[in-house]
Chains A and B, each alone.
Chain A
């Protein structure tokens, strides 16, 4: 992100928190209400490439952190400055008790499978998503399995230990 964009961002949005690491990476923390308008704004500024949508389960703070990573597509890379080359990490937090959020498909079309995955693995409902059906998993889980309170070892022991083995016919 270059300085001009940083100035524009701080004048357009009042509730942003921009942190820049030494090597050019920028992360923007934003309240959930402003996320859609921020993403639309970044897209209009050339950040057309949505690299990833991720989620971090901060279980002690009872919050999910949604991560949107955007960067710029370059058709001739030498025409771009050093600061425009790195990605921007946009972060927002939503409640863990009631995990609902809006879909960003109207802004970034390729958000569709990422949101589907987060719906399946974290149980976050994205309103307006056209097909929130299972993507990767084959069975039902008591708790969405990528949440921190899902105990992988206990689940594996309970589910897969009970399969009768061939060597132990009495069980």
Chain B
């Protein structure tokens, strides 16, 4: 022991290693962070994923192209729909399958609805963590209304497997569009309540302002996308950069904020949710009639020509990519997902936690919108 220095003056003696999660009330999801703290200040944070590693990418190499769908959608539990979309896009690109015009619109509407549901879930998590229990309950209730729509459309509430190579599984049922509009109006009618109780609330401002700030340069350096980047004033959205489905068919805008802190990120989420609802209305109006599905070859005897494809789309959390390789067989040769939570939960989180207070760890993590199963896959 070093006896020359008086107690408390040796920095290393005051530095503690602390485990935050996976069994911690402030932690959302199966994820943990090792914190080096001095008093209440975090000196260094090390993200520690792997609690949900199921080896999906390896398992997918053992299953046929179509059999992989139930696994693909379980990579992101909160928003499985963009996962179906990206896998379908990659398979379509490799196999050269065309998608009918109407299916593009149906896909866009479906994905935007999923984005609303996912953002409401994120809002629940964030409001709950800050102690806004009422707002959290509203968000959960409204998400449930969205799930009801999914149930009617696809038969499943959480995992839908609705998007399929060649289009979507079925067209909107009779009267579904009206129900969709009514539900979205009901949710949209509560925006003033949300604003009064949460977004324009002084408590939210005080708790989120200046917390977990990531500058634009830092975000770019660490692979940030989605809200992390848009909260720093960059209009970076894959739906605009490389439009897919029907996103280039109707006018819409990307919402940004300037400060790069938790407050800006949650405001971007709010604005995006409202934009998604408006986009659904525009898409419903512009939607053409016709088929929603192009027949694919018999899935039991379906060999896809050799090749590689990298496709990307904008999930509710940021840029979602998929690198897919076929060797000409009836199953993928290599699958690798680029999930938005991967850089956000590892590199960006470690950076944002530096010099933060222990009390803000959950705040920063949820505002970065990290979903642990996306990291582990």
Interface residues of A (CB under 8 A from B): 23, 25, 27, 48-52, 54, 56-57, 67, 69, 73-77, 80, 85-87, 89, 108-110, 112-113, 134-138, 145-146, 152-153
Q: Are A145 and B55 in contact (CB under 8 A)?
A: yes
Q: A75-B233, A76-B235, A110-B343 are in contact. Are A146 and B57 (CB under 8 A)?
A: yes
Q: A73-B220, A137-B50, A146-B58 are in contact. Are A56 and B241 (CB under 8 A)?
A: no
Q: Are A67 and B323 in contact (CB under 8 A)?
A: yes
Q: Which of B58, B221, B235, B242 contacts A75 (CB 8 A)?
A: B235
Q: Which of B50, B233, B325 contacts A136 (CB 8 A)?
A: B50
Q: Are A54 and B346 in contact (CB under 8 A)?
A: no
- Nearest-CB distance from A53 to chain B (Å)? 9
Most buried by B among A50, A73, A85, A146: A73
Q: A56-B333, A69-B338, A152-B62 are in contact. Are A77 and B346 (CB under 8 A)?
A: no
CA distance A23 to B309 in the complex (A): 11
Other than the given A50-B223, A89-B310, 15 more pairs (CB < 8 A) read A49-B220, A51-B321, A52-B338, A67-B323, A69-B310, A69-B323, A75-B233, A108-B223, A109-B223, A110-B221, A110-B222, A112-B346, A112-B347, A113-B347, A135-B50
CA distance A152 to B60 in the complex (A): 11
Q: Are A152 and B58 in contact (CB under 8 A)?
A: yes
Q: A54-B336, A110-B223 are in contact. Are A77 and B321 (CB under 8 A)?
A: no
Q: Is B84 an interface residue (CB 8 A)?
A: no
CA distance A113 to B222 in the complex (A): 11
- Nearest-CB distance from A140 to chain B (Å)? 14
Q: A49-B223, A50-B223, A109-B221 are in contact. Are A75 and B236 (CB under 8 A)?
A: yes
CA distance A111 to B174 in the complex (A): 49
Q: Which of A23, A51, A56, A109 contacts B338 (CB 8 A)?
A: A51
- Nearest-CB distance from A58 to chain B (Å)? 9
Most buried by B among A27, A74, A134: A74
Can you list 29 A-B pairs with a CB-CB distance of less than 8 A? A25-B309, A27-B308, A48-B220, A51-B223, A51-B321, A52-B310, A52-B336, A52-B338, A69-B338, A73-B220, A74-B236, A75-B235, A75-B236, A77-B235, A77-B240, A80-B241, A85-B242, A87-B310, A89-B308, A108-B223, A109-B223, A110-B347, A112-B346, A112-B347, A113-B342, A135-B49, A135-B50, A136-B53, A138-B50
Kindly list the 8 A-B residue pairs having the minimum CB-CB distance in the complex, ordered from nearest. Answer: A110-B223, A52-B338, A54-B336, A136-B50, A136-B53, A113-B346, A75-B234, A56-B334
CB contacts (< 8 Å) of A135 on chain B: these are 49-50
Q: Is B319 an interface residue (CB 8 A)?
A: yes
CB contacts (< 8 Å) of B49 on chain A: these are 135-136
Interface residues of B (CB under 8 A from A): 49-50, 53, 55, 57-59, 62, 93, 220-223, 225, 229, 233-237, 240-242, 254, 308-310, 312, 319, 321, 323, 325, 333-334, 336, 338, 342-343, 346-347, 376
CB contacts (< 8 Å) of A57 on chain B: these are 334
CB contacts (< 8 Å) of B222 on chain A: these are 109-110
CA distance A87 to B225 in the complex (A): 15
Q: Which residue of A lies closest to B55 (CB)?
A: A145
